[in-house]
Amino acid sequence: MIENYKNIIGERKVSELKIIAEKLKNKSILNVNSTFKGGGVAEILTKMIPIMESLGINIKWEIIKGNEEFYKVTKKFHNALHGVKEDFSQKDFEIFTETNNSNIEKIDMDKDIVFIHDPQPIGLIKAKKDNKWFWRCHIDLTNSDKRVYDFLKQFIPKYDGCVFSSPYFSKTDIEIPQYLIFPSIDPLGEKNKEIEKEFIEKVFYDFGIDIKRPIITQISRFDRLKDPVGVIKAYNMVKKHIDCQLILAGGGADDDPEGVKVYEEVLEERNNDPDIHILMLPHNDLIINALQRGSTVILQKSLKEGFGLTISEALWKEKPVIASNVGGIKYQITHKYNGLLSNSIEGTAHYIKQIIENPEYGKYLARNGKEHVKENFLITRHIKEYMLMFLTESDKDVIYF
């Protein structure tokens, strides 16, 4: 399977991956997160693990399992760590701890390397023996709720290293090694591979969307932090001047109990505008691929964002992107070079008009965007850095690959 990437990254880089993987061939690796479906973490692992297996690596993937109460608590944790005000009781922290403790008995963590993703399973570290454990934080902790962060911080020193998606997310109060590793997209996956023009046109036809008129699209979970209501407001501003259409497409994650409620809020904000298309598309990568490729401009109007892989997906398809100037987004977009960064609804509307009215400028941004993704955000680079981390013994504060 790794051979399939030679035409994209070159034979030399594929050979490098094979050489590094050879040094891990006698190691067993376990990944643990909170869901097999929905969200960027599950998507990355779905693509990454088969490629690493093709390199001869013994790698597995498990999920922590909890009841509805647990997922409500972890959603509140997620929001609070992004700076959203939430109310917590002592019972919330007990539910979190009890669920982690019960999963220690259910998951076989007797592996050479255990890789824990995000806060939900962080407490599994209690099962650590003499093996190596890493914790990956995919979210932005720069404005996190102190009570939640302090609760999670009790677990972090027990790990051998932690991974962040931005140098700004790293914490001065964490004494274990910190690694900077950006997320990635799979250029050969169904969401990003080349597809026929006829298929793209059929997808738009089936959804009743006029592919000949300008189309603004945001692909993301129905999550308040993705600001879908703000997207509609920006579209309404543009609509006063340009005859355009809006697509809000995505699904929910299995560990996110708020998705349905946010979806209903978006339907209400739509106000029966026939040119606003709200599409619930859980895990339909080919359809999302087609929607991005057929759109005029792609948005990612997040209020908070650990990284935002939909941006790299759109840039890879040579689409002009307008995104919020927050979190890990700033590492994917250099303003006015390979995309546009906005700080407000009004700014987003202004940039949408600019790209629709000046398509050559949009093409310029998009060309630069694809090259930036090729050099920095493909899954093969991501795998290389993970493998190097697994092999690294270091006491440095922050390690940049």
DSSP character string of 16-53: HHHHHHHTTTT-EEEEEES-SSSSHHHHHHHHHHHHHH
Query: How many angstroms separate the CA atoms of 310 and 300, rounded?
Result: 8
107-111, 279-283, 297-301, 351-355: segment of lowest average pLDDT: 279-283
Instruction: Flag whether 190 is in a domain.
Output: no
The CATH number for 264's domain is 3.40.50.2000
pLDDT band at 394 (very low <50, low <70, confident <90, very high): very low
Cβ-contact 238, 354 below 8 angstroms: no
Mean per-residue pLDDT, 12-25: 96
- Give bridge partners of residue 297 from the DSSP assignment: 216
Does residue 75 carry a pLDDT above 80?
A: yes
Average pLDDT, the chain: 93
Residues 311 and 212 in one domain: yes
Give CA angle at 152 (150, 156), nearest 5°.
105
pLDDT band at 259 (very low <50, low <70, confident <90, very high): confident
Does residue 357 carry a pLDDT above 80?
A: yes
Name the burial class of residue 94, with classes exposed (0-12), middle (13-18) and buried (19+) by CB atoms within 10 angstroms of its CB: exposed
Residues 328 and 369 in one domain: yes
Query: How many angstroms separate the CA atoms of 148 and 86, rounded?
Result: 10
Instruction: Flag whether 176 is in a domain.
Output: yes
> Dihedral angle at the C-alpha atoms of 85, 90, 91, 92, nearest 10 degrees?
30
Instruction: Flag whether 204 is in a domain.
Output: yes
Residues 263 and 114 in one domain: no
Residues 142 and 249 in one domain: no
Q: How many domains does the chain have?
A: 2
Instruction: Flag whether 301 is in a domain.
Output: yes
Residues 250 and 293 in one domain: yes
Instruction: Flag whether 11 is in a domain.
Output: yes
Instruction: Flag whether 159 is in a domain.
Output: yes
Residues 152 and 237 in one domain: no
3-state secondary structure of 66: coil
Residues 250 and 367 in one domain: yes
pLDDT of residue 399: 53
Mean per-residue pLDDT, 30-55: 92
Residues 250 and 350 in one domain: yes
Mean per-residue pLDDT, 44-67: 96
Residues 209 and 301 in one domain: yes
pLDDT of residue 142: 84
Instruction: Flag whether 191 is in a domain.
Output: no
Q: Domain span at residue 32?
A: 2-184+378-400
Instruction: Flag whether 97 is in a domain.
Output: yes
The segment with the largest mean pLDDT, out of 127-136, 161-170, 258-267, is 127-136
Residues 126 and 235 in one domain: no
For residues 150 and 401, the model is more confident at: 150
Residues 48 and 160 in one domain: yes
Name the one residue in this structure whose structure tokens are 């407000």.
Answer: 344
Residues 291 and 301 in one domain: yes
